[in-house]
Amino acid sequence: MKKYFVTEGNSNNYVGLNYMFKSVIDAKYFEEAKKRFEAQFVNLGELYRLLGNEDGTSTTIILSKYSSPFDKILKAKYPKAKIEYYK
């Protein structure tokens, strides 16, 4: 089973590359998520490239608090994927 943790839209902020806009709290949020989930951490664009036109079979998509607004889009695009949320 493939597992993807969707960090946010199409940004690299989740890995701390954008220091001006990310706080220590956000860094801790993603550090905790990495400890909790054995998943590939991707942004939305990367997820689309990795899954392509698949229907989501045998795929778990974990949405961060920053990517949860995309849940309806992802459910429609990958109807057989299991969607989880991490707040």
Q: What is the pLDDT of residue 64?
A: 93
The burial of 61, by beta-carbon neighbours within 10 Å (0-12 exposed, 13-18 middle, 19 or more buried), is given as buried
The token duo for 65 is 């608090």
Which residue, among 87, 52, 53, has the nearest Cα to 71 in the 3D structure? 87
- Per-residue model confidence as pLDDT tens for the chain (87 residues): 999 999 986 655 544 445 455 566 678 888 999 999 999 999 999 999 999 999 999 999 999 998 999 999 999 999 999 999 998
Contact 46, 52 (CB under 8 A): no
- Record the pTM: 0.82
